[in-house]
């Protein structure tokens, strides 16, 4: 199925789920979820897969409802304060062939009622990975700066949380001290909601994913993963 865009009804469903985040409501609207969220999301993944593979043969889009690039709607409520059972966003992550979870570097697409954006990088990497990335930044500041600048040409800006100080073991006077303080290594760009309503979303995501390839390559190099 070709990607034709999401619809206004997709946002209406997300609004309904936000207001009625319970199992009874979701069960009554399961068909709407499949039609308005899952079907267009899988079509988008299918359309993006060859584009992602052309950027790096080690990345892919897996158009499966379970175990694929579409992130599950069911929330893990075991450890958080929020016990609502469902996520109220659409999340798609294009992962490395060796990736084990959402913390691995990848390209990401996000839609909810507050914001829509495209992103690249790694969110909350494991401590060993975080250290490896910081060492990459420290050792290759010119290459890292160039990678960030390449993403900026497509509107991608650094995002995520940072420490208040440069971590122990790194030079506080390093020219990329702000990068060394990062807890998340992400570049992100907002998407206008109306862009989601047509097939042009594929070209826009392709432009931003391609522009951020040097950033992804730098992250993979830091982690010893092929790009």
Residue written as tokens 């409501």? 25
Q: pLDDT band at 102, cuts 50/70/90?
A: low
| Tens of pLDDT, residues 119-168 | 999 999 999 999 999 999 999 999 999 999 999 999 999 999 999 999 99
Of 157, 67, 145, give the one whose Cα is nearest residue 118: 157
119, β-bridge pairs: 108, 188
Pair of tokens at residue 133: 């990335």
Domains of the chain in sequence order: 8-223 (3.30.930.20)
| Tens of pLDDT, residues 206-215 | 999 999 999 9
Pair of tokens at residue 25: 């409501």
Return the exposure string of 188-213: e unless at least 16 CB atoms fall within 10 Å of the residue's CB, then b: bbebeeebbbeeebbebbbbbbebbb
In angstroms, the CA 61 to CA 53 distance is 8
In angstroms, the CA 199 to CA 63 distance is 17
Residue 80 pLDDT greater than 90, yes or no? no
Mean pLDDT is lowest, of 103-107, 129-133, 219-223, for 103-107
């Amino acid at each position: 199925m070709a990607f034709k865009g999401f619809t206004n009804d997709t946002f209406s469903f997300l609004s309904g789920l936000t207001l009625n985040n319970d199992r009874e409501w979701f069960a009554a609207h399961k068909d709407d979820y499949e039609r308005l969220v899952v079907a267009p999301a899988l079509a988008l993944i299918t359309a993006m897969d060859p584009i992602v593979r052309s950027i790096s043969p080690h990345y892919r889009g897996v158009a499966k409802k379970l175990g694929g690039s579409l992130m599950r709607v069911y929330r893990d409520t075991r450890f958080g304060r929020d016990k609502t059972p469902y996520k109220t966003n659409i999340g798609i992550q294009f992962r490395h062939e060796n990736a084990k979870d959402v913390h691995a570097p990848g390209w990401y697409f996000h839609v909810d009622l507050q914001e829509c954006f495209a992103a690249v990088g790694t969110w909350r990497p494991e401590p060993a990975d975080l250290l490896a990335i910081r060492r990459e930044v420290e050792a290759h500041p010119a290459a890292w700066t160039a990678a960030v600048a390449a993403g900026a040409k497509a509107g991608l800006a650094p995002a995520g949380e940072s420490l208040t100080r440069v971590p122990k073991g790194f030079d506080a006077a390093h020219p990329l001290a702000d990068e060394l303080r990062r807890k998340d290594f992400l570049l992100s760009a907002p998407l206008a909601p109306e862009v989601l309503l047509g097939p042009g979303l594929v070209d826009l995501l392709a432009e931003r994913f391609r522009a951020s390839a040097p950033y992804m390559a730098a992250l993979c190099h830091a982690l010893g993963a092929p790009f």
